[in-house]
Amino acid sequence: MFSKLHFYWQQRKVLYSGKEDITPALGQKLFAKLNTGYYSADEEALILRLLIKKSFLNKRHGQYEFSKKVPAYVANEIPRQMRNLWTGLATLIILYASHGLINGEIYIPGKRSDGITFSGATVVLVFAACFCLALALLVTVIDHYDKRDNEYLYNIAEKLLWAMSCGLFTWACVWDWAQHATLLG
């Protein structure tokens, strides 16, 4: 089920957006599963059209053959200074958020203002946001040491953690603003 959803997602990505391109590796995976009963006849016809459109297939002697070479995989390399920076930054963020959680108050400095002081229940949300942000930084470091061909999973995890961090911090800001508005009003 998941692989078929992934196939439809890739199909929409290639056919309708026109900006993204299907990779030779994905094309070869799709081509390898043709005539095995994995796909229905409609799906196989669509895959053939898709691969021919992208010039991955040639027809010789009535048979299709895959024409593009899949480039050799090169693992992600992140410089040592960048890994040290991300690890140190993640550690500082966690320590600062933990200190604020223990004291019951987290102060986020502002550039052109006095900053925001979170207290009460919003401290937990800011701590969770900081924790997600630190994990997003560490995912990049972990990706360097993982030599498998799965960078897309790390990219998804990093974007998801970053979005969760932004969402939790926004929720904390709105909740803090609502608490101050009810106290003043």
Mean pLDDT of the 9-34 span: 60
Mean pLDDT of 136-159: 88
Tokens representing residue 76 in the block = 């992600």
Query: For residue 111, what pLDDT is reported?
Result: 86
Specify the pLDDT at position 165.
Answer: 97
- pLDDT for position 180: 79
Question: Taking all residues of the chain, what is their mean pLDDT, rounded to a whole number?
Answer: 79
Q: Which two tokens stand for residue 51?
A: 């691969």
Question: What mean pLDDT is predicted for residues 139-155?
Answer: 86
Structure tokens at 108: 């986020």
Tokens describing residue 143: 């990706």
Q: What tokens were used for 92?
A: 């500082």
What pTM was estimated for this model as a whole?
0.63
C-alpha 57/C-alpha 63 separation (Å) is: 10
More confident residue, 34 or 114: 114
Say what the pLDDT of residue 11 is.
63
Q: Name the pLDDT band for 171 (thresholds 50, 70, 90).
A: very high
Sequence ranges of the domains in the chain: 13-66, 80-184
Structure confidence at residue 18 (pLDDT): 45
Q: Does pLDDT of 25 surpass 70? A: no
Q: Can you tell me the distance from the alpha carbon of 164 to that of 50, in angstroms, rounded to the nearest whole number? A: 35
**Surface-to-core class of residue 131, CB atoms within 10 Å of its CB (0-12 exposed, 13-18 middle, 19+ buried):** buried
When mean pLDDT is compared across 38-42, 89-93, 174-178, the lowest value belongs to 38-42
Q: Tell me: the pLDDT tens digits for 31-88?
A: 666 667 676 666 666 666 666 665 566 656 555 555 666 567 777 888 899 999 999 9
pLDDT reported for residue 17: 46
The reported pLDDT for the residue numbered 19 is: 43
Which residue has better confidence, 175 or 71?
175
Q: What is the mean pLDDT of residues 7-19?
A: 56
